[in-house]
Amino acid sequence: MRLEEFLEERTTADVSKVLSAVAKSSVRVWEALPIERGVTGGTNPSGDRQAALDLFTNGEFSNSLIATGAVAELASEEEAQPLTGRGALHVAMDPLDGSSNIETNNPLGSIFGIYDSALPCSGERIVASAFVTYGPMVTLTFSTGNGVNRFGLVRKGSNFVFELAAQDLKMPDKPEVYGFGGLRREWIPPVERFVTKLEQLGSKVRYCGTFVGDYNQVLKHGGIFGYPALKGKPRGKLRLLYEAAPMAFITKAAGGYSTDGFVDLLRVEAEELSATTPVYTGSYSITKELERTVSSGSP
């Protein structure tokens, strides 16, 4: 089944327009990967160094999403202020997840949260979320709250189309893999003790520096991904609206759980567009165990 048919049957018209725009633009981003290289010398609002591909993807997705007529507000990790449109949906995006991987040819991604409320807000206002993976395959993984579906980019004649690759994905509850960002010496003690326990249980490390890439491992094999609270940065690094909440929405739809270490991540209220949060997301049981460990301050 092609993406357009699937969306027409299973989503609202506005969400369908947004996801279709993401899919079409992701093809143009994929085509630009060998061309848009290097760094610009500038930084985004969070202080991260911008690559040329950051600017290209931001412009490509921004233009296509606003053009749908379904978006009222578009907030991007690469922009200080949101763009406005004439629609009803509010979209927060990380247009290029893992841009530090460009020079090493590791996976890249794009993340989108689709909200029914003005931003900033909590993840409880998400109505759909999606992420694109630019790896050996280009895939679009998304949820509108009822299951998680994945479409892969395939060639049909002279055209590229997205076709259904997996439907109703479920995250295994048995944890096989884990990946935690940041320097180990900077993790808060409960996280360091928890990871030590995972190692003793034989869990395999999977960390490639791209949220999307590491998350795909957890979604497939079961386990946990985290960018934890750090000793000098208690609110972590990942952006709540652009990255953490959209991925938490998908995790929940796949039967998993996400937390900031104390509460369900989808309940955390963003006080500003650039708000960051500790992120722990993955299989339900192991992520709940981490939450108990962090919130109690003990192993």
Q: What is the pLDDT of residue 206?
A: 85
How many of the other CB atoms lie within 10 Å of CB of 296? 9
The answer to whether residue 67 scores a pLDDT higher than 80 is: yes
CATH 3.40.190.80 placement within the chain: 177-296
Q: What is the pLDDT of residue 276?
A: 97
CATH code at 177-296 = 3.40.190.80
Q: What is the pLDDT of residue 48?
A: 62
The answer to whether residue 43 scores a pLDDT higher than 60 is: no
- Architecture of 3-166 per CATH? 2-Layer Sandwich (3.30)
The answer to whether residue 298 scores a pLDDT higher than 80 is: no
CATH 3.30.540.10 placement within the chain: 3-166
How far, in Å, CA of 73 to CA of 290, rounded?
A: 35
The answer to whether residue 49 scores a pLDDT higher than 70 is: no
Give 102's pLDDT tier (boundaries 50, 70, 90). confident
Give 33's pLDDT tier (boundaries 50, 70, 90). confident
Q: Strand locations in the chain, DSSP E? A: 39-43, 49-51, 71-76, 83-84, 89-97, 108-115, 126-134, 138-143, 149-156, 159-166, 177-180, 204-205, 223-227, 257-259, 279-282
- Residues 6+ positions from 139 with CB-CB distance below 8 Å: 132, 133, 150, 151, 152, 153, 165
Average pLDDT over residues 45-61: 79
Percent of the chain at pLDDT > 70 equals 94
How far, in Å, CA of 154 to CA of 151, rounded?
A: 9
Q: Find where tokens 């690559």 sit.
A: 51
Average pLDDT over residues 168-191: 95
Weakest mean pLDDT among 8-17, 27-36, 54-63, 272-281: 27-36
Average pLDDT over residues 196-221: 91
Give 187's pLDDT tier (boundaries 50, 70, 90). very high
Average pLDDT over residues 40-55: 65
Give 40's pLDDT tier (boundaries 50, 70, 90). very low
DSSP state of 51: E
Query: For helices 3-10 and 13-32, what crossing angle results, to 10°?
Result: 160
Q: Find where tokens 């949906």 sit.
A: 89
pTM across the whole model: 0.94
Residue with the larger pLDDT of the pair 299 and 203: 203
Mean residue pLDDT across the chain: 92
Show the CA angle centred on residue 246, arms to residues 242 and 249, nearest 5°.
Answer: 160
The answer to whether residue 47 scores a pLDDT higher than 70 is: no
